[in-house]
Structure 1
Amino acid sequence: MSISADERRTRIVEAVQSLGSVRIADLAERLGIPAVTVRRDVAALADAGLVRRTHGSVSTTTRPAPVPGAGPALGLLVPSVGSYFDEVIAGARTAASRASAHLVLGISSYDAGADRVQVEQLLKSGVHGLLLAPNWTPDDRRGGRGWVEDLPVPAVLVERRAVPGSPAEELDSVASDHRHGVFLALRHLRGLGHGAVALVARRDTWTAHEIRRGYAESCELLDLPAEPVIDVVTPAVDADAVADSLAEACARGVRAVLVHNDQDAIQLLPLLRSRGLQVPEQLAVVSYDDVFAALGAPPLTAVAPPKRAVGAEAVALLLRRLGSEDPMPVHHVLLLPELTVRESCGAVRA
């Protein structure tokens, strides 16, 4: 069974952290992944500063030892490495470096219960504060969140928003306003004359849930009919079914779609062409994330959450919290995405 790029890269980082240093060929054999794929993933991870690549080997990145008078150590928990969170990590690393702070990375997974284990490891490493992107969804109001009440150090939620009434509501947070991002996409397509916009979306992440909610809200605000959401459960398996659903939507007059995320949108392009749907002539496509969107054929118009800015602002907020002698009010910060217009929507901005 194939695995996603995010899952591959998470496994690679975990293996490298466990082994310290390993030849790429040995790593590929250990993980059961083709060596050419491992080399490509290692190159991307090295560019993001998550591993060190030298002469056919890969090793953990060196972290400066704490020195008296230097900034604090900050633990960063992410659900995976690769694509979206690479940019969040990069923004956090830059901000921490400028403040002479030390960033310690913890990689969880999208499995329930993994977050707490990783946070305990970060705390054992001696971090002074935590930046947390846990495996939560907006609709989960019950389990898996109580442990945030017992944290012995200040914490900031990253790309997560507190559910009202939950323990997390007492934590600082910095996140992209994904609902606003969806509004930008639908407003742009509405302005191009589209009377209906379809949504292709996943269900497995916080962002996916926020996009679904943003779609319903934006359709109402813009007086657009809310089309049945086309679900993506397993991207590689569902791609043909998604393309068929879009072809059916086009047959009934829908000529625009928002796809979460870039990877799924790029995979859809050739499948749409095989069904006689040219982009953007027969179908205007906007993707969400803007990690790989510019590499599409045609280049994809995309909503770009401020990923690096989220990481940087989360570090800045945590450092303010650590350095404040007076009580600070809880901060819930939302940063607005932007829309990057390219060829796939049929209106390249001058």
Structure 2
Amino acid sequence: MTESAGGPSPAPLPYERRAQVVDLLRRRGVVRADELAAELDVSVITIRRDIALLASQGVIRRVRGGAVMEGADERDAPVVPQPATLAGRRLTVGVVVPSLTYYYPDVIRGVREAAAAASARVVLRGATYQADDERRQLAWLVESMEVDGLLVAPTTTGEEGEALVRWLQSAEVPVVLLERAATVGPLREAMESVVSDHALGAAMAVRHLATLGHRRVGLLTPAQSPTTAHVRRGWRQACEELGLDLTDVPDVNAAGDAGRAAVLDEVLDACLASETTAMLVHSDPETMSLVERCQLRGVRVPGDLSLVAYDDEVAELCDPPLTAVRPPKAAVGRAAFELLAARLAGGGAERPAHRVVIAPRLMVRSSSSAPR
């Protein structure tokens, strides 16, 4: 915060600060990130984010340690990005996700980062994986908060889920789905969506294990997770493509927490009986429970059984730290906001529906190694 004759003056808004960055570049040609941070009284991280955003918009060019302005005269100087607005007012986006404690906090963080860069407002609501609750939250955002658009991870299956998708398709404001994909109408037209490529992530895990020398890779998933179907598809496709033997390999889709210890024992028994030496497990808590069961039974991880977790929320905190597939959660949130903002900026019915798929990463740690 800077001082003025009348006391402290408010810090500039993000778009105003980025305008200052561009102005300094025009006058100097090149600037260092640390110098900009000191001059504008913000953190170096904030300046680096500003530089990254301006570079992605073609306004400036990033260089090691800072940024440069391409040579240009006044007539073709780039336009400084302005805050996202609609009808001359600040853009407000409603967000509804099924959990505020697991998986979705990082998605929300991505939405917030993109919204902050555009000086837009985010109104968040948490739901409970129930279509009727999600519809109530969404209706409140549209009717009471008068949001300009919606980002939502809705229930899409079953009669209630299908009804919710139809409601979203006919909503008064644009909608982008988070980590969900859906089609509507007799032609099965796609709704706009941003998703992680979970099938690819599962296939990456299988290929990693196969590269280590594992020829039998099992799977354990929770029946109630919307991600399960994609993980199972990627696991099976990769096993078949690599020629891995699935005969008697554990393939368990467990329902709920009831009898978890018995399910884990059945998985371990099946691994020993079929000589399965590796497992892909969704998600982190289930994988950690399997590690604990292995320790109780004297099964060494990774010596006797290599494990790869899917989600990477807390996988690194396990003993041993878990190799894990990390979905691009924050990137999903950022891309979804940008997609919604682009829809609101114009194009209307002429703009085709966008379906964005973002690849996950494999984080290799200590729970996977070559089989004995």
TM-score strictly above 0.5: yes
CA distance in 1, matches of 2:228, 2:279: 15
Preserved CA contact (<8 Å) 1:179 1:210:
yes
CA distance in 2, matches of 1:242, 1:93: 39
Task: Name the structure 2 match of 1:112.
Answer: 131
Of residues 154, 162, 174, the one that matches 2:174 is 154
Q: Does 1:257 align with 2:279?
A: yes
Shift of 1:231: 2.3
Distance 1:233 1:167, change over 3 A: farther
Aligned length: 282
CA distance in 2, matches of 1:197, 1:181: 15
Q: Does 1:81 align with 2:100?
A: yes
1:129-278 map, 5 Å:
129-137=149-157, 142-163=162-183, 169-226=189-246, 227-235=249-257, 237-278=259-300
Of residues 308, 327, 335, the one that matches 2:358 is 335
CA distance in 2, matches of 1:244, 1:238: 10
Distance 1:214 1:163, change over 3 A: farther
Shift of 1:68: 9.0
Amino acid at match of 2:306: A
Amino acid at match of 1:277: V
CA distance in 2, matches of 1:71, 1:176: 29
Q: Structure 1 unaligned runs (5+)?
A: 1-65
Amino acid at match of 1:104: V
CA distance in 2, matches of 1:169, 1:143: 16
CA distance in 1, matches of 2:287, 2:186: 34
Task: Name the structure 1 match of 2:53.
Answer: none
Amino acid at match of 1:85: Y
Structure 2 residue matching 1:345: 3-state secondary structure: coil
Q: Does 1:103 align with 2:122?
A: yes
CA distance in 1, matches of 2:118, 2:276: 50
Q: Structure 2 unaligned runs (5+)?
A: 1-84
Preserved CA contact (<8 Å) 2:219 2:279:
yes
Range moving further from structure 2, 187-196 or 245-254: 245-254
Distance 1:171 1:152, change over 3 A: same
Shift of 1:244: 3.1
Preserved CA contact (<8 Å) 1:137 1:205:
no
Distance 1:142 1:90, change over 3 A: closer
Residue by residue, what CA displacement relative to the aligned partner does 1:216-249 show, whole Å, maximum 9, x if unpaired?
A: 2222222223435212222363134223322322
Distance 1:240 1:297, change over 3 A: farther
Preserved CA contact (<8 Å) 1:258 1:286:
yes
Q: Does 1:297 align with 2:319?
A: yes
Give the alignment's TM-score, normalised by structure 2: 0.71
Preserved CA contact (<8 Å) 2:94 2:141:
yes
Distance 1:159 1:79, change over 3 A: same
CA distance in 1, matches of 2:174, 2:360: 27
Structure 1 residue matching 2:362: 3-state secondary structure: strand
Structure 2 residue matching 1:302: 3-state secondary structure: strand
Residue by residue, what CA displacement relative to the aligned partner does 1:48-94 show, whole Å, maximum 9, x if unpaired?
A: xxxxxxxxxxxxxxxxxx99955310011101111200110111111
CA distance in 1, matches of 2:355, 2:86: 32
CA distance in 2, matches of 1:246, 1:82: 30
Residue by residue, what CA displacement relative to the aligned partner does 1:125-149 show, whole Å, maximum 9, x if unpaired?
A: 1100000100235999855422123
Shift of 1:186: 0.2
Distance 1:140 1:166, change over 3 A: farther
Task: Name the structure 2 match of 1:306.
Answer: 328
Give the alignment's TM-score, normalised by structure 1: 0.75
Range moving further from structure 2, 178-187 or 243-252: 243-252
Amino acid at match of 1:344: S
Distance 1:67 1:330, change over 3 A: closer
Distance 1:71 1:237, change over 3 A: farther
Preserved CA contact (<8 Å) 1:232 1:242:
no
Preserved CA contact (<8 Å) 1:230 1:242:
no
Shift of 1:271: 0.9
Distance 1:229 1:71, change over 3 A: farther
> What percent identity do the matched residue pairs reach?
39
Task: Name the structure 2 match of 1:59.
Answer: none
CA distance in 1, matches of 2:176, 2:331: 14
Preserved CA contact (<8 Å) 1:137 1:209:
no
Distance 1:143 1:120, change over 3 A: closer
